[in-house]
Amino acid sequence: MQGKRILILTASIGSGHIKAAEAVAAELRRQQPDVGLTMIDFMSRKISILHWLMKKIYLVMLALIPNIYDLCYKASGGASGGTLVQKAFACVMLPAMRRLVKKYRPDAVVCTHPFPEGAAALCKRWCGADFQLSVVMTDYSLHQIWLYRGVEQYFMALPTMAGGMVARGFERQRLFVTGIPVASSLTRLPGQQRARAQLQLPLDQPVVLLMGGGLGLGGIARTLQELEQLPGRLTLLVVAGRNKRLCAQAQELAARSAHTVRVWGYTDEAQLLMRAADLVITKPGALTMSEAFVLGLPMLLHDPIPGPETENAIYATRHGAAVWLHPGERIAPAVQELLGHARSQQMRRSALACARPEAAEAIARQVLAGMKL
């Protein structure tokens, strides 16, 4: 494998796609230290101003007009509508992909987002680029936007997704049900009480973690206000991500809260915070859910991004690892119930039953095996 080069392409639309790419990259380095490895955010301004603008438009759409985003997601899910959308995005992004392929001359390309995947597939078909294309699907449901001909390896969360792809004409030998990759460090975290001690948290209070992904979405400030209704004293951990406005609001609420409230922006301690928690209140991002499964952490899900996160929420609730709080339902009573010992223990067992801590290892092993053929 000496002299071989792998290019990992991800997208900074939320943090999940990047975390999946980092998990696979770490395993590739561990399994094959001499391979040349480069990881790139395909939607960054450095790669393409057009890509960066498209990302900004996408984020504004999610924040301001989520119902229109939902319609777009559903319209692109069918074979005809989806193929049209896929071709349009792939064509727009092809020039940047050609530049990257020319610069890095990869033997393999691994994508954790459908945008670079589409451009890479088109680069192979139209430009004669010769590399192994592997795709890590970061959802718990199948959608047309991920499906391209010319991909040598697909890695996915569930057997039902593989079955859906076979029904659409994809070859079974190209499909690998590995789970969604998470960092191997999750399995090496200290126990709950030790994690709380490291974070200097009270050891005698229930701990609730509030997360909104890298973008700090999900109405966290409103949730903090509602949790003030609860009797007894809780420790509330708030991860605001890169949302500076939310960080300031949370700190202001913390100053007058009846509970113990600690606030972080974008932090490298998120895994330790999850380990310390009895419950996480979060949007149903696939990577956050996958990490919670590995840690056996019960989830209270709310405010999903229409489309993929809705499907993620359905999966977690059907398997008993989460409760999905729908619009109009009160969050404080739900938190009080979920902190009850019997319910919490059952949800922990259900979460662990969904866990795939070995996913990144399996993906890296298969990518490397494919390169040796």
Same-domain status, 341 and 368:
no
Same-domain status, 148 and 294:
no
Token pair in block for residue 52: 């960066």
CATH number assigned to the domain comprising residue 241: 3.40.50.2000
Same-domain status, 164 and 127:
yes
DSSP assignment string, 125-153: HHH----EEEEE--SSS--GGG--TT-SE
Same-domain status, 140 and 114:
yes
Residue of 177, 138, 115 whose CA lies nearest to 22: 138
Give the pTM: 0.91
Same-domain status, 176 and 216:
no
How many domains does the structure of the chain reveal? 2
The per-type count for the chain, helices as H runs and strands as E runs, is 15, 12
Same-domain status, 96 and 234:
no
Contact 338, 300 (CB under 8 A): yes
Same-domain status, 289 and 146:
no
User: Measured between alpha carbons, how far is residue 313 from residues 265, 288, 329 in Å?
Assistant: 25, 11, 16
Same-domain status, 50 and 151:
yes
Same-domain status, 21 and 162:
yes
Same-domain status, 46 and 155:
yes
Q: Which helix (H) or strand (E) holds 52?
A: helix 49-64
Token pair in block for residue 79: 């074979």
Same-domain status, 31 and 60:
yes
Contact 102, 132 (CB under 8 A): no
pLDDT in tens, the chain (373 residues): 678 999 999 999 878 899 999 999 999 999 999 999 999 999 999 999 989 898 887 777 666 655 555 555 555 555 544 477 788 889 999 999 999 999 999 999 999 999 999 999 999 999 999 999 999 999 999 998 999 988 999 999 999 999 999 999 999 999 999 999 999 999 999 999 999 999 999 999 999 999 875 554 557 888 888 999 888 899 999 998 777 888 888 888 888 888 999 999 888 899 999 999 999 999 899 999 999 999 999 999 988 877 788 999 999 999 999 999 988 889 999 999 999 877 889 999 999 999 999 999 999 999 999 997 5
Same-domain status, 108 and 45:
yes
Residue type, 281: I
Q: For residue 171, what are the domain limits? A: 5-182+357-372
Signed CA dihedral, 159, 143, 16, 25: sign only: positive
- The residues, any chain, with a CB within 8 Å of residue 157's CB and separated by 6 or more, are 137, 139, 140, 177, 179, 180, 286, 290, 356
Contact 67, 35 (CB under 8 A): no
